[in-house]
Structure 1
Amino acid sequence: MDGKRGIAARAGSWSVRHRLAAVGIWVLFVVLAMAAGAASGTRELSGSEQLPGTETGDTMRIVEDAGLEEPAGESVLVQSGPDGPKATSAEFRRAVEQVVAAVRETGETTAPTSPYETGTVSADGRSALVHFDMRGDPETAGDRVQPVLDAVRDVREDHEGTLRIEEIGDASMNKTFDDAFGADFRQAEFSAVPVAFGILLIAFGALVAALLPVLLALTAIMATMGLMGVASRFQPMTETANSVMLLVGLAVGVDYCLFYLRREREERARGRDARTALDIAAATSGRAVLISGVTVIVAMSGMLFTGLAEFEGMGLASLMVVAVAMVGSVTVLPALLSLLGERVEKGRVPFLARLKRGPAGGSGESRVWRAVLDRVLRRPRTAVVLAAGVLAAVAVPAVGMNTANLTLDQEFGDSLPIVGTYERVDAAFPGGSDPARVVVRADDIDAPPVRAALADFRARAVSEGASRGPVEVVTHERENVATIEVPLVGGSDQAKAERSLAVLRDEVRPATLGRVDGVEAPIGGSVAASKDFNDRLVGAVAPVFAFVVLFAFALMLLSFRSLTIAVTSIVLNLLSVGAAYGILTVVFQHGWGAGLVGAEGIGAIISWLPLFLFVILFGLSMDYHVFVVSRVREARTAGRDTADAVRHGVITTAGVVTSAAVIMVAVFAIFGTLSMQSMKQMGVGLAAAVLIDATVIRGVLLPAVMVLLGERNWYLPRWLGWLPDLTHDEAVPAARDTPPVADRGADGAAVRV
């Protein structure tokens, strides 16, 4: 019999027989993974690795190869109103001198320069910029910038009412955003765990049962954090990858444990002995976990083909945590359930136990979903037309989705004063806040042809209309590298700034630096980085979508040996993703209900989100699909006709799918409350998609479609008969001739109905 049993069944059986060994191996694995991560450290993504193969990446690579450490640059805006003093006035000059002296005296800055020396005075003569750099490591400059901010504040107070004096730059912006949103973001991550536990407590009505899924998810996350450190030696990681890993790990870790635990409790409530209940759970829910896990891993792998290092880091971190959670669910979980036995019911909450009639119910059937399903299956054609029509209508707005890199005011709104400072600097010095950055490397940077080309580039950048100046050139003679800062015409208007960038790249550079042999002159900067990122992202969409869809189709075909099941799973998942796109578009682009989530006036979807959502949602939605279809197939294999198998499969899985979906929606919704629009869009998109998938798709559309298809659900063409058989159906022990156990009382005694 063992030779015909599936991997999950054999793993579960071994774990039950060697309970202490299974738990010990898991604990040892988690400890060793964390120790390995601590020993190796986590290598963070460097600048040149973010956009490899692009001009932006090349500028960073040249700077890093030359050993040049770019300090965190800061500026102080000194500005008067329409009726205020001009830059030529004595008061204005005195304010500028005070700013230069104040930032120098802090000891945290280098080379503060007067705008009268650098020419950084606006055309109307009412704005000037004092430039300086922060000392030390630019990565930690935000931690050391407060004394400089205090010094600038003191000067501002001396000129209150006549001059506006504000600081902005790499260090001050990093500090402002970290102070405003860093704690907020971390709090959202930490609150996800108690939220999940609270929902599980309501679902199970017992502390121990609710704690198991959370513990499995947390240990999987802890182990993956260690593995990420080791993996970062080959694929650098970012904070974003860590956050995505936490979200995905919590979602799948809880889901997989919930599926397994739910089935074991259901079989125990039906009167099975403990060993039989665990065997059935391993052969059924354990198998569903493996299929789902592998499918999610394949979906996450799609991010590895984007050519974008940040996406690749997120993809690798996500697939690792899914793999760890999947292995833990089919190995250590059966051992823990066997060790706990009836004690899994410890800590029952009487009120919840009386109120609840879900996962612990004897048949595991949901009364609410039974009522819904009765109506769906009574008129399946009507249900398909209505459900598919509603989802298609919701998805239609996505056709006109406008993706863009959000500006500072779109991302953070007007809640932060520094955003207003950025806009005022950009208005007074167009492009000065986000200049293009040309990094020139030559065999001899002081050679006359190179010097002449640098001067010609500087002049043509202005004469060709790409910049209004001032264009600054800094030469590093020892490294044979020069940098050119070019304020772009268009400023914060991304489209206009990109046109100016194109003039630099396609006209100015070929006519100047491009004529000198041996000179390399890539053009980067924030505008260039945005364009290069979007170009790479657009090029990755089709391959990633094709990879995820084709491999998910192949896995479903192999797992269920049904062409129909494979096709319908893909179509339903695409419909779910399309509906999520539509909701994002109407809320964040068209503003319908935007006030409810604090997203008024955004007008666009952040560029990376559609691809990210597709990969994440396609993977997570497979959790529910595999779990439901596996139960339907199990019922049909046991002798039920298709209609009855569909009814049984959907009703008996509805409770656990609902519980799992509520947890996901709640966790994702937490991120939808953050102030950053990118995080808000991600949270709302994920929460909406999971809600749609667990209700309309799995509760209405899937059963209606399966009933309409009937025996065609299990169709496999003869020419595909050569495919390996991965079904490994298990013989489920016959039910005892005893009434099912509906629930257990607070004292643990069985209560029969």
Structure 2
Amino acid sequence: MTATVTPAAPETTPGAMRNRLLRLARVLTARPKTVLIAWAVLIAVCFPFASQLNDVLTKQGASKVVPGTSSARADQLVERSFPDRSQRESIVAIGAPDVRGAQLRALLAGLDGRIAEKVRTGEVRQSSSAYTLYRDSTTAYLRQLRTQVDQQLAAARADTSPEARRQAVDALVSVGQVPAALAGPARQAVTADDSALPGLAAGFAATADWHAFPVPVPADAVDRLLAKDGTAALVSVSFAKQAGHDPDVDWLRAAVADALRTAGAGPDVNAHVTGELALIKDTYKKAEDDNALMETVAYAIIFVVLLLFFRAVVPAVLTVAAIGLATTVSQAALFALGHQVTLTQFTITIMNFVMLGAGVDYSMLLSSRYRQERLAGRPPKEAAVHATAHAGESMLLAAAAVVLAFGATLLSPVDWIPPLGYGGLIGIPIVLLAALTLTPALLTLLGDRFFALGLRPLSDLEHGSALGRHLARAADLARRRKVAIVLVFAAVTVPFAVATAQHRSTADPVALSPATDSRTGFELVARTWGDATVLPTLVVARPAPGVVDPAEHRLTDTGRTAVTALTDRLAAVPGVARVSAVTRPFGTPLAADQVDALGAELRRDYLADDGALRIVVELADPPYSGAAARAVDRVQDVTAAAKDVGTLEVGGATQVDRQYGNALDSSFWQMIGLVSVGVFVMLVIALRSLLIPVRLILTIMMSNVWAIGITVLIFHFWLDKAIIDDLPIFLTVLMMGLGMDYEIFLVTRVRDLVRGGADQESATIGAVVDTGRVINAAGLVMAGSLGTMALSSTVMLQEYGAGLGLAVLLDATLIRMLFVPATLLLFRRFNWWLPTLRRARAEVSPR
């Protein structure tokens, strides 16, 4: 094997960090087998726990309700006082040619029977459908009929035997006071116990013709459950707290499928489980199912890039294996953490891809430095020691930057952001530990055999390859055209910044969800009843004294007047389609006696037993539109003036989205500020420079702006898809950590060359060539692994993948290979300016 040997750079006095790394490397290389055994034991201990990780993940996903906001207070009040109408409510949407026909009656009756089993176990609070409405109306009618017969017989002092009761019913049927169709159940009802009446009513409601139902049923209530054209029906299912944090929507789907089979429903009948809970769960399930494909493609990309980078099979295999082992340890650590905090499937997705990208970065940097040390003439063991010390410093700085970025996420009030941070906080230190211990141990044990099964892997690939020559030309271009390059990059950033600032974004779970059962169901509901049926705006209140009579569970006269006035004002708000409350449960005002006569279940939808009030405001526009947000602003103005009703809170999908967006913006700038300050301080201390940390942060922002701009062009303008509103913060959090790897690799090499005696120009060009191959390969690996999220069926992961892949690729190529060298050469000695550390500045100042 022919190797081009380059002289080792002159050694300078190492700093404290490098001294510690040298001592660590000597310990590791002295006992490499012990290191491998320790990792084997750790993996054996961690594997059983890692395999249980899915058990501690929430399947519902993180909530977008921001603590401390009016929507959070409204959500808490609804959860406590109106649990049947909380986020635990799911909807079964049924489409059929005739939802009032015998087949659909059997289907709804069968489904209600299956749900009743869960009601008895306490997992479901209740269900509502047209069937239960007809059944309960019939039950009330039979109960009233029995009372009427009792009164007639008592007044006539007649015989009260069962036969006499049946004859009394026959007499009422003959004069038309009882519908003939109801004669059979009526004759049974007057001789049965009260507990038997619901069963009699259930049998009648399932078999009687709903087109001409003989018992009075509120038409407005029917219209909310059966489409006026008879082609769609709704079933509401409210899960109880006993069902846990993740109610079993899959069970409900199985119950619907079973009811469809039992009823003999044909292919023209379809049923879907939807609602906010089902939409989120289905999206997370899709993301989980996509993981296998994304990880397979990511590993394939990584392996191909590693083969091209090392020009050998063994290091590629060992690198991927080491990251896989580190991932097992990380998953076990997340399993332990998952018992204390909320973790989602996205926590795992992000952790896996971040560990893949960062782990490959570290491994390539360390093994590349080992090869350079061998080419400089050091024996294998000593080369491993020096490679670990030199590369380890860059790796530690890069990992610290990532940890800072992910740590900042824990301070966000937005629920989904901290779970994202946990994945990075745990995964990065563990994959760094693997790179700093496993790789030196393997290099020591295998020596040059670490690069076995390859094509001249120990040759000078940095300087002698075609890529090395290309990097040298790029660095020379940056030297000759540094001002022009800086101006061109700044000019290109402007249109991308405009596109980023003006892009249309949303948190709409429907627009961002893949093709799922819940999305199909939502679209069926939206076409028939409107989006607000599933995603309404809510006004909830703790009533003022004197508004509710707690003993009678009804409004007082004063309360009725105040609530009526409030709902009238809300109904008059531009952008409001309908308002429902205890004084107008079907959207139109009721007289006082009609309000008092409301059934208990219907009344509890709007006036809880504890006195809380619930008002449903249905907006005319889609809930996540700008028009809906403006309508909610006007609703808030109305509720703020209604002091006579009580303490009013506005919640629901539109309000949650608005306040979530505000919290997201606040979190975005807080995290950028926190991470920027943390990284700035860390790098000032480590690199002895004020300018380099500032430029690093600005170039990361440039990468983000370019990537978001291109993503918006692709998804919004080309594919006409909604842009998820948390894309900028997601991209920034990851790139503020991961994107710094490349700058740190490059700048620490420039610093080492300057300390070794090179001038600024030679050091910059030399560093671009020395590190460019690692940075380009690492960028391809990171872009490839993170970019595989674009293969997901969920729009949010597609956009995350496209945005991250583009950001990393742009950062590792154009920005680090052209823009950064140009600015280094433009500022020259000012790169290392640090006024309070003159000694350090003199040490690295270019000649």
TM-score (norm 1): 0.81
**Structure 1 residue 682: deviation in Å?**
0.6
> Who is 2:334 aligned against?
228
Report if aligned partners of 1:37, 1:229 keep a CA contact under 8 Å in 2: yes
Sort the Cα spacing of 1:648 and 1:229 in 2 relative to 1 into closer, same or farther, 3 A.
same
**Structure 1 residue 538: deviation in Å?**
1.9
Which residue of 801, 806, 821 corresponds with 1:688?
A: 806
Report if aligned partners of 1:358, 1:655 keep a CA contact under 8 Å in 2: no
Query: Matches of 1:458 and 1:27 in 2, distance apart?
Result: 71
Report if aligned partners of 1:560, 1:726 keep a CA contact under 8 Å in 2: no
**Structure 1 residue 622: deviation in Å?**
0.5
Which residue of 109, 117, 121 corresponds with 1:101?
A: 109
> Who is 1:130 aligned against?
234
Deviations 1:275-307 (A, max 9, x none): 221222122111000111111111222212221
**Structure 1 residue 222: deviation in Å?**
1.9
Give the match's secondary structure for 2:223: coil
**Structure 1 residue 30: deviation in Å?**
4.7
Which residue of 7, 30, 33 corresponds with 1:20?
A: 33
Which residue of 489, 508, 511 corresponds with 1:406?
A: 508
Give the match's secondary structure for 1:434: coil
Give the match's secondary structure for 2:235: strand
2:423 equivalent to 1:317: yes
Sort the Cα spacing of 1:549 and 1:159 in 2 relative to 1 into closer, same or farther, 3 A.
closer
**Structure 1 residue 235: deviation in Å?**
3.1
Report if aligned partners of 1:135, 1:141 keep a CA contact under 8 Å in 2: no
2:720 equivalent to 1:601: yes
**Structure 1 residue 645: deviation in Å?**
0.8
Query: Matches of 1:575 and 1:541 in 2, distance apart?
Result: 16
Sort the Cα spacing of 1:457 and 1:659 in 2 relative to 1 into closer, same or farther, 3 A.
farther
Sort the Cα spacing of 1:93 and 1:220 in 2 relative to 1 into closer, same or farther, 3 A.
same
Report if aligned partners of 2:407, 2:425 keep a CA contact under 8 Å in 1: yes
Query: Matches of 2:43 and 2:563 in 1, distance apart?
Result: 57
> Who is 1:426 aligned against?
526
Counterpart amino acid of 1:53? G
Query: Matches of 2:345 and 2:374 in 1, distance apart?
Result: 43
Give the match's secondary structure for 1:386: helix
Report if aligned partners of 1:213, 1:257 keep a CA contact under 8 Å in 2: yes
Map residues 287-306 of structure 1 onto 2, 5 A cutoff.
287-306=393-412
> Who is 1:54 aligned against?
69
> Who is 1:490 aligned against?
620
Give the match's secondary structure for 2:93: strand
Deviations 1:24-53 (A, max 9, x none): 444444555566778997374897896322
2:226 equivalent to 1:210: no
Query: Matches of 2:613 and 2:263 in 1, distance apart?
Result: 32
**Structure 1 residue 101: deviation in Å?**
2.1
Counterpart amino acid of 2:25? G
Give the match's secondary structure for 1:133: strand
- Percent of paired sites with the same residue: 22
2:11 equivalent to 1:11: no
2:694 equivalent to 1:567: yes
Counterpart amino acid of 1:54? T
**Structure 1 residue 229: deviation in Å?**
2.8
2:802 equivalent to 1:699: no
Query: Matches of 1:527 and 1:288 in 2, distance apart?
Result: 46
Gap runs ≥5 in structure 2? 1-12, 119-125, 134-216, 586-601
Query: Matches of 1:464 and 1:268 in 2, distance apart?
Result: 78
**Structure 1 residue 148: deviation in Å?**
0.7
Sort the Cα spacing of 1:131 and 1:344 in 2 relative to 1 into closer, same or farther, 3 A.
same
**Structure 1 residue 565: deviation in Å?**
1.8
Give the match's secondary structure for 1:139: coil
Counterpart amino acid of 1:303? T
Query: Matches of 2:434 and 2:691 in 1, distance apart?
Result: 31
Report if aligned partners of 1:288, 1:630 keep a CA contact under 8 Å in 2: yes
Query: Matches of 2:754 and 2:729 in 1, distance apart?
Result: 37
Query: Matches of 2:74 and 2:842 in 1, distance apart?
Result: 53
Deviations 1:484-517 (A, max 9, x none): 47252135342344345445554347627x745x
Which residue of 568, 574, 578 corresponds with 1:468?
A: 578
Mean Cα displacement is larger for which, 639-648 or 301-310?
301-310
Give the match's secondary structure for 1:639: coil
**Structure 1 residue 252: deviation in Å?**
0.9
> Who is 1:629 aligned against?
747
Which residue of 503, 524, 533 corresponds with 2:660?
A: 533
Sort the Cα spacing of 1:389 and 1:48 in 2 relative to 1 into closer, same or farther, 3 A.
closer
Report if aligned partners of 1:298, 1:551 keep a CA contact under 8 Å in 2: yes
Query: Matches of 2:474 and 2:229 in 1, distance apart?
Result: 68
**Structure 1 residue 14: deviation in Å?**
2.0
Give the match's secondary structure for 1:565: helix
2:152 equivalent to 1:42: no
Report if aligned partners of 1:208, 1:345 keep a CA contact under 8 Å in 2: yes
Counterpart amino acid of 2:642? A
Sort the Cα spacing of 1:678 and 1:48 in 2 relative to 1 into closer, same or farther, 3 A.
closer
**Structure 1 residue 680: deviation in Å?**
1.0
> Who is 1:733 aligned against?
none
Sort the Cα spacing of 1:175 and 1:576 in 2 relative to 1 into closer, same or farther, 3 A.
closer
**Structure 1 residue 423: deviation in Å?**
3.0
Query: Matches of 1:3 and 1:78 in 2, distance apart?
Result: 72
> Who is 1:735 aligned against?
none
> Who is 2:155 aligned against?
none
Query: Matches of 1:670 and 1:254 in 2, distance apart?
Result: 16
> Who is 2:181 aligned against?
none
User: Would you say how many aligned residue pairs link Structure 1 and Structure 2?
Assistant: 695
> Who is 1:74 aligned against?
91
Deviations 1:94-119 (A, max 9, x none): 56534422423555775442165571
Map residues 299-448 of structure 1 onto 2, 5 A cutoff.
299-346=405-452, 348-349=453-454, 353=455, 366-406=468-508, 408-409=510-511, 411-412=513-514, 415=515, 419-430=519-530, 431-437=532-538, 446-447=550-551
Counterpart amino acid of 1:23? L
Sort the Cα spacing of 1:236 and 1:454 in 2 relative to 1 into closer, same or farther, 3 A.
farther
Mean Cα displacement is larger for which, 499-508 or 201-210?
499-508
Give the match's secondary structure for 2:91: strand
2:274 equivalent to 1:169: yes
Counterpart amino acid of 1:11? L
Sort the Cα spacing of 1:396 and 1:434 in 2 relative to 1 into closer, same or farther, 3 A.
closer
Give the match's secondary structure for 1:126: coil
Query: Matches of 1:249 and 1:728 in 2, distance apart?
Result: 35
Counterpart amino acid of 2:737? G
Query: Matches of 1:49 and 1:232 in 2, distance apart?
Result: 19
Sort the Cα spacing of 1:75 and 1:195 in 2 relative to 1 into closer, same or farther, 3 A.
same
Give the match's secondary structure for 2:604: strand
Which residue of 639, 651, 662 corresponds with 2:769?
A: 651
**Structure 1 residue 239: deviation in Å?**
1.7
Give the match's secondary structure for 2:533: coil
Query: Matches of 1:588 and 1:184 in 2, distance apart?
Result: 20
**Structure 1 residue 455: deviation in Å?**
9.6
TM-score (norm 2): 0.73
Query: Matches of 2:355 and 2:62 in 1, distance apart?
Result: 28
Report if aligned partners of 1:217, 1:250 keep a CA contact under 8 Å in 2: yes
Mean Cα displacement is larger for which, 179-188 or 116-125?
116-125
> Who is 2:150 aligned against?
none
Query: Matches of 1:481 and 1:34 in 2, distance apart?
Result: 52
**Structure 1 residue 411: deviation in Å?**
3.9
Query: Matches of 1:105 and 1:358 in 2, distance apart?
Result: 75
Give the match's secondary structure for 1:309: coil
Query: Matches of 2:81 and 2:841 in 1, distance apart?
Result: 55
Give the match's secondary structure for 1:468: strand
Deviations 1:334-367 (A, max 9, x none): 1222122233123x15xxx279977587799723
**Structure 1 residue 394: deviation in Å?**
3.8
RMSD over aligned CA atoms reads 4.0
**Structure 1 residue 332: deviation in Å?**
3.2
Counterpart amino acid of 1:489? L
Give the match's secondary structure for 2:491: helix
Gap runs ≥5 in structure 1? 86-90, 595-599, 730-753
Sort the Cα spacing of 1:252 and 1:645 in 2 relative to 1 into closer, same or farther, 3 A.
same
Sort the Cα spacing of 1:649 and 1:578 in 2 relative to 1 into closer, same or farther, 3 A.
same
Counterpart amino acid of 1:558? I
**Structure 1 residue 628: deviation in Å?**
0.8
**Structure 1 residue 685: deviation in Å?**
0.5
Larger radius of gyration: 2
**Structure 1 residue 392: deviation in Å?**
4.2
Mean Cα displacement is larger for which, 494-503 or 304-313?
494-503
